[in-house]
Structure 1
Amino acid sequence: MTFNEGARLDPSQGEDRRGRGSTAGKGRGAKVGLGLGGGIVVLIGALLGINPDLLTALIGDTGNQPAIEASNGSALESCRTGQDANERLDCRILGTANSLNSFWPGYLDQYGVGYSLPKTVIFSGSVSTACGAASSAVGPFYCPGDNNAYFDPDFFAQLETQFGSSGGPLAQEYVVAHEFGHHIQNLTGTIGKAQQGPKGSQSAAVRTELQADCYAGIWMRYASSQPAPGSNQPFLKPLTQNDLNDALSAASSVGDDRIQKAATGRTNPESWTHGSSEQRQKWLYKGYQSTDMAACDTFSVPKV
């Protein structure tokens, strides 16, 4: 979905850590960081013994790269309008976060759940968090230890060129919405289930990720009708079928089976932690269709 050009963005909801060292989280106990799926390649490598050179070719050797200097210093400060979000990826990440922060409080209120704003952190190369240090290779992720969602804009190019996603705006906005889905899980108390039980296509880890996809689908349905704060105009223009196809393409591109196939030439459902391409598309669309948080209860169904 594209942004309404006159929509007003709120840079205070983001933090730009590009071009400066990050020390947040040093010395704290490590907690679990939950990501979209890019980091699963590294995990698969550890489990299956893939040649590290192959992993470098798939996800890029970003772990030892220095942080890239952001243009205009703290570039997010210049993200002010929907037009900026349409023209610049970092502003689109911020604008999507603004939309999510506008939507979720009212929606959760009907379930008796309070909403706290997560910080949206833009970084490059590597970043230190309350969940530990992370490189760009892990992809976008949410850290429940500090309630921050972390995004390296370079990932979105990898999503398209290396994982085969379409490059439409909603493909990128879905990524942000998925990470915010983990924040919703943190607020509702389900996020801890991700570490329960073994891995596999029906595991708690997979069900956690699919629930975050489902929550992203709920936001997608309402995003173009929810007015921005202080305005009668939504952040985003009405969703089209092409937009929906872009989001489903992105969900498919980060399926465990697709990433495993690219990395090893085969799939191993017993090691899945995020879900197959089919599962991810199914639950994203389920949230979009149902608009019901209860329908996203991936933990209560016999099979996801």
Structure 2
Amino acid sequence: MKFNPDADLDTSGVEDTRGSGGGRSGGLPGGMIPVGGGIGGIILLVVILLLTGGLPGGGGSDEPVTQNTAAGNLGSCKKGTDLQSNSNCRFVFYQNSIESFWAAELPRRGKKYTRAPLRVFEGSVNTGCGPATSAVGPFYCPPDKRVYLDIGFFETLQNDLGARGGEFAEAYVVAHEYGHHIQNLYGILDRIKTRNGPASDSVRSELQADCLAGIWTNHATTVPNSSGQPLITELTEDDIARGLDAAASVGDDRIQSKTQGQVTPESFSHGTAEQRMRWFQKGMDSGDMTACDTWSANSL
């Protein structure tokens, strides 16, 4: 994955609250449920980690986890060249590219696009859905229309879920959460009534968000910034493979196998590894939102 060093970056849609004290500790209150909370049911995973100190047979990563704690505030990311001094500027690239795409795509379809800031936090954060901790994993909060991300999640993705990791694996996760924002703008999230089961509304919503992430991926190398320059200049086959691998790593069956030693489809909330890869790939192949109708699909 290559970023344009000459690109101008827009930090107005990125809120970096790390080091600001975050918010109160504690989970999200009942009834105020974030979407994509724990992109693959990470809440259960973290509970297991806290109780046992780790997962049996974790690992599997073939790329070192990027150390993020020493990097500067994302508000300093103004140019593509700032990546050289602050590797976390890549998250501004992701956010700029994803929002720039949807801000152009939705009006083309007759729908107004409303911005959704990416709020980067560490440990805990206050949200429109209530106080949350990193244990929730990346999530989208419909009431305040924000995507929430603790960058430390990607260490969990690699070290405990066995994902290969890499920049595009990160971009997939961010794009998935923005997929939930698109659903919110279309009123689709109001359709979620059943939250568990292999064909539940929750699973259909999550798979659709994977597909929408694929739609952005299809166009990623052509999405310009406000100056008309492409933000991302190259995605390789290896990048795509890492994105698909990340999608598989957060499949319900993969996580349940690691945390429970067995798979219980009746408790699925996000879809299987195979389903998540397939719907992500479907979006990448088509580049068109009409390919992402998981709600009328007889077979997921």
**Same fold, TM-score > 0.5, yes or no:** yes
Question: 1:9 maps to which residue?
Answer: 9
Q: Indicate the percent of aligned positions where both proteins have the same amino acid.
A: 45
Question: 1:271 maps to which residue?
Answer: 267
Amino acid at match of 1:177: A
Equivalent positions of 1:76-115 (< 5 A) are 76-85=74-83, 88-115=86-113
Question: 1:21 maps to which residue?
Answer: 21
Compute the RMSD of aligned alpha carbons. Answer: 2.7
Counterpart-to-counterpart distance in 1, 2:243 and 2:152: 18
Counterpart-to-counterpart distance in 1, 2:149 and 2:116: 13
**Contact 1:30–1:132 (Cα < 8 Å) also in 2:** no
Structure 1: runs of 5 or more not aligned? 59-67
- Structure 1 stretch displaced more, 4-13 or 176-185: 4-13
Counterpart-to-counterpart distance in 1, 2:3 and 2:278: 26
Counterpart-to-counterpart distance in 1, 2:180 and 2:252: 18
- Structure 1 stretch displaced more, 32-41 or 156-165: 32-41
- 1:199 aligned onto 2:196: yes
**Contact 1:163–1:254 (Cα < 8 Å) also in 2:** yes
CA shift, 1:78, in A, is 1.3
Amino acid at match of 1:33: P
Question: 2:64 maps to which residue?
Answer: none
Amino acid at match of 1:270: E
Counterpart-to-counterpart distance in 2, 1:83 and 1:172: 20
Deviations 1:197-232 (A, max 9, x none): 25111111000000000000000010101221113x
**Contact 2:249–2:255 (Cα < 8 Å) also in 1:** yes
Amino acid at match of 1:197: T
- 1:242 aligned onto 2:243: no
Which one of 140, 150, 175 corresponds to residue 177 of structure 1? Answer: 175
Which one of 207, 216, 221 corresponds to residue 210 of structure 1? Answer: 207
Counterpart-to-counterpart distance in 2, 1:255 and 1:122: 24
Question: 1:65 maps to which residue?
Answer: none
Aligned length: 287
Amino acid at match of 1:237: T
Counterpart-to-counterpart distance in 1, 2:49 and 2:134: 19
Question: 1:145 maps to which residue?
Answer: 143
**Contact 1:41–1:263 (Cα < 8 Å) also in 2:** no
**Contact 1:2–1:86 (Cα < 8 Å) also in 2:** no
**Contact 2:4–2:232 (Cα < 8 Å) also in 1:** yes
CA shift, 1:41, in A, is 3.9
Question: 1:117 maps to which residue?
Answer: 115
Moved over 4 A (4+): 43-46, 68-72, 85-89
Counterpart-to-counterpart distance in 2, 1:102 and 1:17: 23
Do the aligned partners of residues 37 and 23 (structure 1) sit closer, same or farther apart at CA in structure 2, a change above 3 Å counting?
closer
Structure 2: runs of 5 or more not aligned? 56-67
Counterpart-to-counterpart distance in 2, 1:71 and 1:244: 26
- 1:219 aligned onto 2:216: yes
Deviations 1:1-56 (A, max 9, x none): 221111111111111111113459xxx9953201264561434899xxx79613x5
Do the aligned partners of residues 198 and 77 (structure 1) sit closer, same or farther apart at CA in structure 2, a change above 3 Å counting?
closer
CA shift, 1:84, in A, is 3.3
CA shift, 1:240, in A, is 1.4
Do the aligned partners of residues 178 and 103 (structure 1) sit closer, same or farther apart at CA in structure 2, a change above 3 Å counting?
same
